[in-house]
Structures are given as structure tokens and as C-alpha cells.
Amino acid sequence: MNYLIGDLQGCCDAFERLLATLDFSPSRDRIYLLGDLVNRGPCSLQVLERLAGFGDAATCLLGNHDLHLLAVAHGVRRAHRSDTLGEILASPRRDHWLDWLRHQRLAVQEQGWLMVHAGVAPQWSASQTLALAAEVESLLRGVDLQAFLQVMFGNEPARWDETLRGPDRWRFAINVLTRLRFCTADGTLDFKRKESADDAPLHLMPWFDVPGRCTADTPIAFGHWSTLGTLDRPDLLALDTGCVWGGRLTAAWVDGGRRELVSVGCPQAMAPR
């Protein structure tokens, strides 16, 4: 059985209940975690320990919170007051967990689904999405990680251009794959809005509703957007159902063209936003 699972954000108890509900066995089943493995929830270190223990039975994507952890650990960003990363950073195996994290993926296409944490630029094909993700993955795994992290953060450029090179190219790819929610009809990214799709101003739309999107015929699964709510379309699965905010942790069983959603409740770990 193959299961796609939304944002954990350190909610290990809910994760354990979900695995029990699914009767998950790493010898028989496979899980795909759609990013934001850590932070804001109470048990980020335990989440990493659990996922790493599954070996090849768990494919983990990186989300914005996971990249934030790497940046804080390397002195590139300051920790936020709401971060819950202290247990990882203070662990005797800190270096092991940071190294494990930076070897995870930013995009995969398996089981009939293109999987990302946040979104796909309207101008990108599925193959281009995977290629750009691979570029960034190689840099995250490289010997000069700190230098890469120093140029990774920022909101520019806001629109894709095939001529983008170097830090601008990588930053745009990271922003799309780990932060994207809204953009304009011409594919210009917007990072100010985090509300539900129904509450966006008229000039913005969800990235997946941009007319002419190159991946319109590619089934895509993503997390990241807890205010979006469950999105279950033939070609789209949105699986961040706000576990860390007192919502639910959701998995999608996928088998060819068939699928079924399963979720468990999560005690409220964070104050309402």
C-alpha cells in the first residue's frame, strides 16, 4: 500500500495514531511525507527518528520549516519564538540529523503523482520541476552548504525566466517548491497572502488554477496550505489539514486511479493564528 501524508510539523503522537489507523508496515507499505516534517509541534526530534527508522519505506520531502531548521543550525537565520527545534539542535546526534535532513528530496514523481511540498510554477512541466528540484538537492547535499543557505532566502525573482542562473534560479525553485500558494495569471509569485483560496484578492489565484498551467494534465499532491482545506480532485490532492493547529493529520491511499483519504485528530499544539 502507498500512502501520501500531509505536514507533520513535529506532531509525532498524531503520526503514530495515523500509522496505527493505516496498519502501516514498513516491510509491506510505503509512505510519502509531503514536507514540513519538523517545527511548531512538540516532538520534532522523535519525528526524524521515526522516519529515518523506516529506511526506504519512507520518502520524505523538504518543506520551508525543514529548510529553516538547516538555516538556523548553520547560523544563517535566527530561530523564531514559535520554533520548537531546540531538541534537535541540542541533540548529541545533531550533525547526524541535519545530514539526514539535507539528503531528503524536494520533488518526486511516483505512484502516478508528482509530489511537492507547496506548488509547481505554472510555466514548469513535470520533468522541469524534477530537474530543478534535483539541482537544489545537489546543493543542499554539497560541501559548501552554509554558503548556499546564505543566498537561499528572499522573495526575488518573482517570476520564472528560462535565463535565470545561479542563486536567482535556485531561490526561485526553492520558493515555488516550499512556499508557493498564490500567483497572478502570468505566474508572478505572491508570498504575502496565506488565507484560503476563496478569500484571495481578485488579481491572485491558487497556483494550480492559473490558466494554461503546464502541469494541468499531471496529478499533483502537495501540503503546506492548511487554510486551503482538503482538496481532492482527480488531478490534485492537498493534504495539509492543519494538524499542528489542532486540526487533523491526513493520509491518502493511492493505488493507480483509486484513492481514499484517512485522517486522525491532533491535540492543538499551537495557538490559533
Q: What are the pLDDT digits (tens) for 186-206?
A: 999 999 888 777 778 888 999
Handedness of CA 92, 47, 36, 225 (dihedral sign): negative
Alpha-carbon separation of residue 206 from 122, 126, 199 (angstroms): 10, 18, 11
Predicted confidence band at 270 (pLDDT cuts at 50, 70, 90)? low
In the numeric block, the cell 510519502 is attached to 32
Joined grid coordinates for residue 53: 527508522
Note the pLDDT tens digit of each residue in 106-155.
999 999 999 999 999 999 999 999 999 999 999 999 999 999 999 999 99
Strands (E), the chain: 2-5, 30-33, 58-60, 107-110, 113-116, 182-183, 189-190, 205-206, 220-222, 231-233, 236-238, 248-255, 258-265
Predicted confidence band at 269 (pLDDT cuts at 50, 70, 90)? low
Model confidence at 69: pLDDT above 50? yes
Where does residue 170 fall: left (phi above 0), alpha (psi -120 to 50 degrees), or beta otherwise?
alpha
Predicted confidence band at 255 (pLDDT cuts at 50, 70, 90)? confident
Class of domain 2-265: alpha beta
CA 222 – CA 119 distance, rounded (Å)? 7
pLDDT for res 247: 94
CA 170 – CA 137 distance, rounded (Å)? 10
pLDDT for res 273: 45
pLDDT for res 50: 98
Tell me how many helices (H) and strands (E) the chain has.
8, 13
pLDDT for res 268: 61
Q: Where are the domains of the chain?
A: 2-265
pLDDT for res 136: 98
Dihedral, 159, 233, 211, 193 alpha carbons, nearest 10: -40
Note the pLDDT tens digit of each residue in 14-57.
999 999 999 999 999 999 999 999 999 999 999 999 999 999 99
Model confidence at 272: pLDDT above 50? no
Note the pLDDT tens digit of each residue in 215-243.
999 999 999 999 997 899 989 999 999 99
CA 114 – CA 221 distance, rounded (Å)? 6
Alpha-carbon separation of residue 47 from 11, 189, 227, 255 (angstroms): 7, 31, 23, 26
Joined grid coordinates for residue 238: 492537498
Dihedral, 124, 127, 133, 137 alpha carbons, nearest 10: -160
What is the value of pTM for the model shown?
0.95
